[in-house]
């Protein structure tokens, strides 16, 4: 049972890595099996298709990150700090990936979702659900920051959508241009976007 479980996990890790570094369309089942060190016959023991594997890999990736998300967005943390910490965490991971690969990879969910949104409803719906959940955490933090007078009032839902679009757009542009400088100050830029009174004080 240990070998079986390990092979499935290796396939999911290989799929996530290859698709993130390249694209869903460009990555073949053969390439995934080769990277995972798993025979093609074993692939079909665990998964019916590349789409089935991708869905499992996305769900596993999201589940693995969930404890970190809960810690960053815990209710007793200052609201602007939650936003800053999450965006900075992502930016630092992107910069580390750039150091390792020479490529800004961008958000794996946004990149995959943009590629397959009109072709694969199952993956589109799964990705949309994860991204929507994160955007709602931004909205909750913005509402609390508004109530505390830390940022201007207004439509918190709209501000969250604008912030999310800025965040994902910056990652996408950095990937397209392969320019890590575009995300070096992403967290502080995000706070400035929503009108934080003293953005740098949040992270002091």
CATH number for position 125: 1.10.357.10
> Does one domain contain both 87 and 161?
yes
Give the residue carrying structure tokens 């950095």.
174
Residue 167 within any structural domain of the chain: yes
- What local confidence, expressed as pLDDT, does residue 198 receive? 61
Q: Is 204's pLDDT higher than 80?
A: no
- What local confidence, expressed as pLDDT, does residue 173 receive? 97
Residue 116 within any structural domain of the chain: yes
Q: Which domain holds residue 170?
A: 73-203
How much is the pTM? Answer: 0.90
Categorize the per-residue pLDDT at 197 as very low, low, confident or very high, splitting at 50, 70 and 90.
confident
- What local confidence, expressed as pLDDT, does residue 203 receive? 46
> Does one domain contain both 53 and 79?
no
Tokens of 158: 């709209």
Mean pLDDT, residues 97-123: 95
Tokens of 30: 């053969």
> Does one domain contain both 49 and 89?
no
Residue 164 within any structural domain of the chain: yes
> Does one domain contain both 5 and 50?
yes
> Does one domain contain both 96 and 150?
yes
Residue 18 within any structural domain of the chain: yes
Per-chain mean pLDDT for the chain:
93
CA dist 121 and 141 (Å) reads 30
Q: What is the number of structural domains in the chain?
A: 2
100: Cα separation from own chain's centroid: 18
Question: What CATH number is associated with residue 17?
Answer: 1.10.10.60
> Does one domain contain both 125 and 158?
yes
Residue 176 within any structural domain of the chain: yes
Nearest CA-CA partner of 164 in 198, 130, 123: 130
CB atoms within 10 A of CB 8: 20
The vertex-172 CA angle with 167 and 176, nearest 5°, equals 150
Residue 65 within any structural domain of the chain: no
> Does one domain contain both 19 and 77?
no
> Does one domain contain both 79 and 46?
no
Cβ neighbours of residue 120 closer than 8 Å, sequence gap 6 or more: 51
């Amino acid at each position: 049972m240990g070998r079986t479980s390990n092979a499935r996990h290796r396939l999911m890790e290989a799929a996530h890595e290859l698709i993130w570094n390249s694209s869903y369309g460009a990555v073949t089942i053969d390439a995934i099996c080769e990277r995972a060190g798993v025979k093609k016959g074993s692939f079909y023991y665990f998964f019916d298709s590349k789409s089935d594997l991708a869905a499992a890999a996305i769900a596993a990736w999201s589940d693995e990150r969930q404890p970190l998300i809960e810690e960053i967005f815990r209710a007793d943390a200052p609201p602007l700090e939650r936003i800053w910490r999450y965006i900075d965490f992502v930016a630092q991971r992107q910069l580390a990936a750039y150091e390792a690969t020479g490529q800004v990879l961008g958000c794996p969910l946004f990149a995959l979702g943009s590629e397959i949104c009109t072709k694969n409803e199952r993956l589109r719906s799964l990705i949309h659900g994860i991204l929507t959940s994160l955007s709602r955490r931004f909205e909750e933090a913005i509402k609390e920051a508004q109530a505390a007078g830390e940022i201007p009032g207004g439509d918190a839902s709209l501000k969250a959508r604008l912030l999310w679009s800025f965040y994902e757009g910056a990652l996408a542009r950095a990937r397209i241009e392969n320019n890590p400088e575009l995300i070096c100050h992403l967290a502080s830029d995000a706070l400035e976007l929503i009108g934080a009174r003293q953005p740098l004080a949040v992270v002091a």
